[in-house]
Structure 1
Amino acid sequence: MPEKQKQRLLLSVEDLSASQAKQLIQVAQKLKRGEIGASEKKSEKNPAKIVILAFFEPSTRTALSFEIAALRLGLKPVNFAAAGSTSLAKGESLHETLVTLISMKPDLLVVRHSGDAKIEEQLAISEVPVINAGSGTKEHPTQALLDAMTVFERRDKIEGERILYVGDIEHSRVARSGNKLFSRLGAAVAVCAPKELMPSTSDWAQATRFEKLSDALKWSTVCIGLRLQKERHSKKPYAFNIEEYRLDKKNLSSLATDAVVMHPGPFIAELDVSEEILDDPRCAIHDQVTNGVYMRMAVIGEMLGLSYS
């Protein structure tokens, strides 16, 4: 993000250069350590900036961390409830709802949606700054940033690390954004999944592919598990045993003792992750949740040009 200039849109990891991503990680770490904090004074002439949080898909970690981030920065988050209490229940389209929110002229709009093409077109031309909080199977840039922050904290570097994604990679916006960002930051990326869940798009052309989880774990320094996204699958029965790719004590015995285990959440207990690994010293799943707040503070601050003290 250019210095002294607000970033207008963060819709994709591709909106960031490597240096911009590194700068955001540094700011998020300083916020986490309490070395800096929001410094803008509010008054009638300088009221708190308004952030609309519009989530058209379910969320716990992302939605709440954005709200907490806004509050800690002294902003006013406004939650748009996409359930039955809005005009969506009367038949209004998602696209028109989004245009309505933009027309209210908030200072920042944070949006999660299912990847609707009309919504993406509108966001790309929005005069209001926009952060993508997850778009279908396509992108989740702030998750990639907080994951990179977590890797840096645990491994003291990102360049040269070997990042492994395990599970439902084909339908994962987390993995797609993470692949782009980690590659840009100098890490190697690999995938391990049943053939039905292997990525099929060209953006994965450079990723190493493993069939056996034990081989993949021996290669990796960071293992990131992914949820089986049943809501994005056809209803035909699976032809694979997902337990072969589950992150549990038995499978993780192939992973180095100084490696890192991550998962963006939510995880389905005993399906993609066994709860027994939450006590494993290599596990950083809850660190990711904590870092989500500070990374989103850093991103919001950059988008709005906030100053720190």
Structure 2
Amino acid sequence: MRIVFATDLSDANEAAIRSRTCLECLKRIGVTDVHLVTVVPDNVSTGLPGMDIASDRQTALRTQRETFESEGFDVETHVARGTPHRRINGFAERLHADMIVVGSRGQSPLENRLIGSTARNVARTAVRPLLIERIEKRDGTHAVAKEHLFQHVLFPTDFSENAARAFEFVPQLAGATQQADLLHVRGREERDTDVQQVRERLSELADDLETTMGIETGVNVRDGGVVDEILAEESRVGATVTVLGARGQSRLRRLLLGSVSESVIAQGHNNVLLIPPESATAR
């Protein structure tokens, strides 16, 4: 499996890369090739005459590259100039990456610096599965929020085609996943649906995961606002990653991503694995 790991060379990204547990999780799902990508935004000055930003960033990438290589990954580094989310997605498409990994820290506009806004913009336009890895600041230093990236999966589903595509991706996490919880949130328009029928549909999906992955599963049906209930379920079950199907495509993708996916990414504290729709896959 080949991944594009986007880095802004910050302390936050260094924390994510230094976590041997996180790197072990990537190995467990079959990642062998890592493409480290850093992007110099167009609005960043090239600096004083004689300074070479590309060369400086390649030098800065060396430590991160060595960390991955010390854990047995094959690594290539890339420095590009342009709009970060466009270049990251462009590399993922050109390299036929199986997944993009982007770190995310902070929630408010004041806290969202380069990597925060980049994570949201990549999510809106991604043509490859995207892992948004949460990074927190603790005692003045950065650390990953959930070291065992894929150990406990939360899979919210509305039984749509996009959710089904996301569900098909979950078995690729075998080897790193020990438990999965499946959730359906009944919005106001669904209050008359039979809860037992919904549980049976979830149980069928759970049985599939137990058979294909050999893991423990649970199901739950909640009533209320979809985003609030997903975030509450993340906390209740102790999930380490929430797997969501994205909506939308083409130039309207920014608007059609769906308030649920975007709000879970913006408001949540869990890692999020976002699976793009079939129509959004790379050419």
Asked if these proteins are the same fold (TM beyond 0.5), I'd say no
TM range (shorter): 0.3 to 0.5
Would you tell me which structure has more strand in proportion to its own residues? 2
State the structure with bigger RCO (CA 8 A, min sep 6), 1 or 2: 1
